[in-house]
Amino acid sequence: MAMANNKTLCFTCNKEKITYLCDGCSKKFCLIHLTEHQEKLNEELKCLINDCDEFKDRLNKPKQNRQYLQNQILIKQINEWEKNSIEKVQQKAEDCRKIVNESSEIFLINIEMKLIDLTEQIKQIQKENEFNEINLNYLKDQLIEIKQKLNKPKLNKWRQNAVTVAGGIGLGQKLNQLNFPAGIFIDKNKNIFIADFYNHRIVQWKYNATVGQIVAGGNGEGILVNQLNHPADVIVDPLNYSIIIADYGNRRVIQWFNQKQQILITEIDCARLTMDKHRFLYVSDYKKHEVKRWKMGEYDNEGIVVAGRNGEGNQLNQLNSPGFMFVDEDQSVYVSDTGNHRVMKWKKEAKEGTIVAGGNGFGENLNQLSSPKGIIVDYLGDIYVVDCWNHRVMRWCEGKEEGEIIVGGNGKGSQSNQLNYPIGLSIDDEGNLYVADYYNHLIAKFEII
């Protein structure tokens, strides 16, 4: 308040007195009425404070009620979530226990069957009394393999970044290069045998080697016995360590042993080959759309058709350009039915096969394959197949409607987690995967975790 210099009329008593200006209402009051004016303002302030406090009390009570109700609803929801989560976890745990028990039972049965088979082989050798170091070493290796499978848990995850173990420095014909590797075979010492398709040779890369060595062919493209013409696949006979080759361009299967050659089968459009434990040789004929079998050493017959035989087609008793194969303990033949984008299983002496992977047309969904190539089946019946045009390797559990990607699947490319039209597939005794990465001209190793 500011004191007036001259006497003026008081707003309240309307008398000329010394007055004081109220800054709030801009009116002038004498001293007495200024005091009354201030007291009135104080009373109004008190009333305002009381009104505010009362309103706050009214506001807080329903707010507390609402908060309580909201808390109760949230707590109820949390309790329901907890109950449902526990039930789901318990159900998942029970499912896992069931899977483990079933897998363990199947695993032990397979181990027992392998041991029975080995025992029968030993009895047969004893009965015939005709055996040598090669036979004994083979039987010893079989027993070691059975023991390892029993003592080692199933490991089924692989590092997603591969290590290049052969080639990988571009297309070429030098000993450290490959030219479209088509098929691979890994022996018990982790040596890699590669069908070097456009170099018309088989090269062996010893474990941890930086260059390969030519073990068959390498004498240019040709029809002579010491030449190869676009070899598509290779296996090694564990008994005598001879090299057996699908000599694709020459339409023959040829054996190399200590740099000596023997033509085993002629006039066959051999796409791929494999061997079972009974030393039967299986060859897929991509033009006749069938798979044939021969007993090792008995090639003077036309062989026995074990899959296909009914011409090109997509029926269960037909194949379309069959490629890679795998034969299990029961001599069931798994075939990459390339043209039909599926994998078929033909049991021994069956008239038709069953679809065990793919079969839902060409595509990249998890229930599809696109030009399947290399194939492996483990002791639990899980199927590993190279999904060539999808640039990935998949695992299919028999009876499941779709597979899962185990390596690759990151688009076509040359990065360590990518593949570029992969073809061949092999596995060593530790479970590491080897992939013939066709357009990257290398062999990629995916290490097991």
Distance CA 62, CA 188 (A): 79
Mean pLDDT, range 394-398, rounded to an integer: 88
pLDDT at 49 over 60: yes
Query: How many whole angstroms separate alpha carbon 379 and alpha carbon 55?
Result: 78
pLDDT at 11 over 70: yes
pLDDT score at 153 = 47
pLDDT at 107 exceeding the cut of 70? no
Determine the residue type at 253: V
pLDDT digits (tens, 9 = 90+) for 275-305: 998 999 999 999 999 999 999 888 888 899 9
Closest of 308, 304, 366 to residue 337, by C-alpha: 308
The predicted structure's pLDDT at residue 94: 76
Are 439 and 424 spatial neighbours (Cβ–Cβ below 8 Å)? no
Q: What angle do CA 445, 447, 449 make, to 5 degrees?
A: 165
> What is the end-to-end Cα distance of the chain in Å, rounded?
87
pLDDT digits (tens, 9 = 90+) for 182-222: 999 999 899 999 999 999 999 999 999 999 999 999 999 99
Amino acid at 395: R
For residue 247, give Cα distances in angstroms to 78, 104, 224, 232, 275: 68, 41, 11, 6, 16
> Is residue 355 scored above 60 in pLDDT?
yes
Q: Give residue 270's pLDDT.
A: 95
Determine what percent of the chain is predicted with pLDDT higher than 70.
89
Check whether 154 has a pLDDT greater than 60: no
- Residue 2 confidence (pLDDT): 46
Map tokens 């000993």 to a residue: 175
Tokens of 447: 């290490």
**17 vs 93: which has the higher pLDDT:** 17
Residue 338's pLDDT is: 97
Does residue 115 carry a pLDDT above 80? Answer: no
Instruction: Return the number of other C-beta atoms located less than 10 Å from residue 38's C-beta.
Output: 14
Give the orientation angle of helix 31-128 with respect to helix 133-151, to 10 degrees.
150
User: What are the chain's domains?
Assistant: 97-151 (no CATH), 163-446 (2.120.10.30)
Task: Compute the distance between CA of residue 422 and CA of residue 443 in angstroms, rounded to an integer.
Answer: 9
**Over the stretch 216-266, which tens digit does the pLDDT of each residue have?**
999 999 999 999 999 999 999 988 899 999 999 999 999 999 889 999 999
Taking the whole predicted model, whether its pTM rises above 0.85 is answered as no
Q: pLDDT averaged over the chain?
A: 88
pLDDT in the model for residue 43: 84
Model pLDDT for residues 69-85, shown as the tens digit of each residue: 777 787 888 888 888 87
Q: What are phi and psi of 417, to 5 degrees?
A: -105, 15
- Determine what percent of the chain falls in helix, strand and coil, rounding each to the nearest 5: 30, 35, 35
CA-to-CA distance for 225 and 228, rounded, in angstroms?
A: 8
**Element of type H or E holding 69:** helix 31-128
Contact by Cβ (8 Å): 275, 265: no
CA of 430: how far to CAs of 98, 152, 188, in Å?
Answer: 27, 10, 10
Predicted confidence at residue 71, as pLDDT, reads: 76
Report, as an integer, the average pLDDT of 340-347: 96
| Of 362 and 84, more confident | 362
Tokens representing residue 407 in the block: 């390596």
pLDDT at res. 149: 62
CA angle 410–412–418, rounded 5-degree value? 50
DSSP string, 140-169: HHHHHHHHHHHHS-----B-SS-EEEEE-S
Q: How many CB atoms are closer than 10 A to CB 159?
A: 16
